[in-house]
């Protein structure tokens, strides 16, 4: 008899809301740094909402420019980097091993001043195996 799953068991967005803690690795040695970050998954509602809100705001600006008879504003590389930094930082929901208390602003600062950590945040958040827990096939 084939195993069946409920939609609740398949709710990836809900599973991505649960935090996943990982240790930041030193990019040169590959060893743990003692800094532990807790992230939510890339499909978590908070990440999806932030992405939609940011991109919709850009589209509204573009539409307003077109209505004024102007070309849409060209986005700078700096603006794209800032968006990518915020997109990584929104995924961080806590930390250990950093003396500063966790705040969303601190997460943005961390991602801004340390791009390799930003990359590790994105990697951990996008790895759905860190968040999914489908029942084992019987």
pLDDT digits (tens, 9 = 90+) for 93-128: 999 999 999 999 999 999 999 999 999 999 999 999
From the number of C-beta atoms within 10 Å of its C-beta (0-12, 13-18, 19+), residue 115 rates as: middle
Q: If we measure between CA atoms, which residue out of 35, 40, 38, 32 comes closest to residue 16? A: 40
Taking residues 29-52, what's their average pLDDT?
96
Prediction pTM value: 0.84
Domain ranges within the chain, ordered by starting residue = 15-130
Tell me which architecture the domain covering 15-130 has in CATH: 2-Layer Sandwich (3.30)
Count of beta carbons in the 10 Å neighbourhood of residue 54: 14
pLDDT digits (tens, 9 = 90+) for 42-52: 999 999 999 99
Average predicted confidence (pLDDT) for the chain: 91
């Amino acid at each position: 008899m084939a195993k069946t799953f409920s939609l609740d068991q398949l709710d990836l967005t809900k599973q991505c809301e649960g935090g996943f803690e990982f240790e930041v690795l030193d990019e040169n040695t590959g060893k743990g740094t003692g800094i532990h970050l807790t992230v939510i998954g890339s499909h978590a509602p908070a990440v999806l909402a932030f992405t939609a809100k940011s991109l919709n705001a850009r589209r509204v600006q573009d539409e307003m420019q077109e209505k004024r008879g102007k070309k849409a504003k060209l986005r700078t590389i700096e603006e794209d980097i800032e968006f990518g930094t915020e997109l990584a930082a929104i995924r961080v929901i806590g930390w250990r091993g950093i003396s500063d208390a966790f705040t969303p602003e601190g997460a943005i600062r961390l991602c801004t001043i340390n791009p390799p950590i930003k990359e590790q945040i994105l990697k951990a958040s996008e790895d759905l195996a860190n968040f999914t827990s489908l029942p084992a096939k019987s």
